[in-house]
Amino acid sequence: MGQKLNVLVTGGAGYIGSHAVLALIDAGHRPVVIDNLVTGFRWAVAEDARFYYGDISDSVLVESIIRDEHIDAIMHFAGSVVVPESVENPLKYYNNNTAKSRSLIETAVSSGVKHMIFSSTAATYGIPETSPVREDMATKPINPYGTSKLMTEMMLRDVAAAHDFNYCALRYFNVAGADPLARSGQSTVGATHLLKIAVEAALGKRDSVSVFGTDYATEDGTGVRDYIHVSDLAAAHVIALEALVADPARSHTLNCGYGHGYSVMQVLDAVDRVTNKKLDRKMEGRRAGDPDSLISDNRAIKDRFGWEPRFDNLDQIVQHALAWERRLTDIQSA
């Protein structure tokens, strides 16, 4: 690492944001968090990080944080992430993910912040014609969530062309697991992540796990996804940050995944293995817009940043998620 950077982390009290805060601290940088705590938790923010309660669309507040904390770069996680909700309430997503991002980018540029890492998504691809998915493939999102994120990518591209500013948009595949030291994890009530639901069921917090679709063109008929450990994803953000600072003339749009996948059944089997119990599985019909398989081509992030995953092991991902779920029970009952 070169210089110690002051990094504003939007949504730093949420699942991925809180892990990015830990990764920044571990790498010797200084995170400053802004979160409106609509879905995040104040206790999820590392004690070593400065915290501001507020919304990224409050340009006066964001401007003062950038000035007072001498912010060098922004990691932008704040936003809404539930795909079915985006279909039911598109304007919420175009406000939270697009309009508020526009406000944040404008404040960053006017305040002299030159670097931004953006939390994007594989949903920008829609249903790709081939898998693994490369970054140069067509972006045809099929829901407002994916479209709202793609619009922010477009804004970043255009702003970087017009100003002294560069960015890295990281397109996440399926984020899973928890900090190996159980300092943070997926804490959202009613979360829609498969592994979160499965470990809740394993600990008796749910009666069963629904399996949506058993007739996909996959080995066991259930959907295959590229699961990436949240701590590997957080590490990718820190590497991206240092790359942006080292080469301010270059921006990046990169996939974040492992380049291989597991089916729904394989994930549930792993939870059974780790817990030595059998989850109750309820077979349901397909959900609209779910592709058979969604796997990343991750060669670009490896080649460009030298990123190497540390936790590419399904059972280990499950173990970390389970350890966090147990700790979360203690936190919630305290």
Maximum distance among all Cα pairs of the chain, rounded to whole angstroms: 56
Q: What is the reported pLDDT for 173?
A: 97
Strands 30-35 and 50-53: parallel
Nearest to 139 by CA among 290, 255, 288, 305: 255
Hey, what domains does the chain have and what are their CATH numbers? 6-177+228-256 (3.40.50.720), 194-225+259-295+310-333 (3.90.25.10)
Measured CA to CA, the distance from residue 313 to residue 321 in angstroms comes to 12
User: 252 and 240 in contact (C-beta within 8 Å)?
Assistant: yes
What distance lies between CA 74 and its chain's CA centroid? 15
Q: Which two tokens stand for residue 313?
A: 């092991």
Strands 174-176 and 166-172: unpaired
Q: How far is CA 195 from CA 23, 154, 262, 319, in A?
A: 22, 31, 12, 11
Q: What is the reported pLDDT for 90?
A: 96
User: 75 and 237 in contact (C-beta within 8 Å)?
Assistant: yes
User: 323 and 178 in contact (C-beta within 8 Å)?
Assistant: yes
How do the pLDDT tens digits run along the chain, 334 residues long? 568 999 999 999 999 999 999 999 999 999 999 999 999 999 999 999 999 999 999 999 999 999 999 999 999 999 999 888 999 999 999 999 999 999 999 999 999 999 999 999 999 999 998 889 999 999 999 999 999 999 999 999 999 999 999 999 999 999 999 999 999 999 988 888 999 999 999 999 999 999 999 999 999 999 999 999 999 999 999 999 999 999 999 999 999 999 999 999 999 999 999 999 999 999 999 988 888 999 999 999 999 999 999 999 999 999 999 999 999 988 888 7
Q: What is the reported pLDDT for 326?
A: 95
User: 295 and 257 in contact (C-beta within 8 Å)?
Assistant: yes
Q: What is the reported pLDDT for 5?
A: 98
Which candidate in 93, 145, 216, 258 is catalytic?
145
Q: Which two tokens stand for residue 329?
A: 């029970």
Whether 145 is a known active-site residue: answer yes
Other CB atoms closer than 10 Å to residue 76's CB: what's the count?
25
Look up residue 132 and give its amino acid.
P
Q: How many Cα neighbours within 13 Å face the side chain of 208?
A: 8
Q: What is the reported pLDDT for 49?
A: 97
Q: DSSP secondary-structure letter at 216?
A: S
Q: How far is CA 80 from CA 90, 201, 281, 307, in A?
A: 11, 25, 28, 27
What distance lies between CA 201 and its chain's CA centroid? 23
Strands 174-176 and 227-229: parallel
Q: Is the dihedral of CA 322, 120, 307, 261 positive or negative?
A: positive
Q: Which two tokens stand for residue 113?
A: 């912040």
Other CB atoms closer than 10 Å to residue 231's CB: what's the count?
25
Q: Which two tokens stand for residue 310?
A: 């540390």
Instruction: Return the residue matching tokens 């104040």.
Output: 42
Q: How far is CA 240 from CA 35, 53, 143, 274, in A?
A: 22, 26, 27, 33
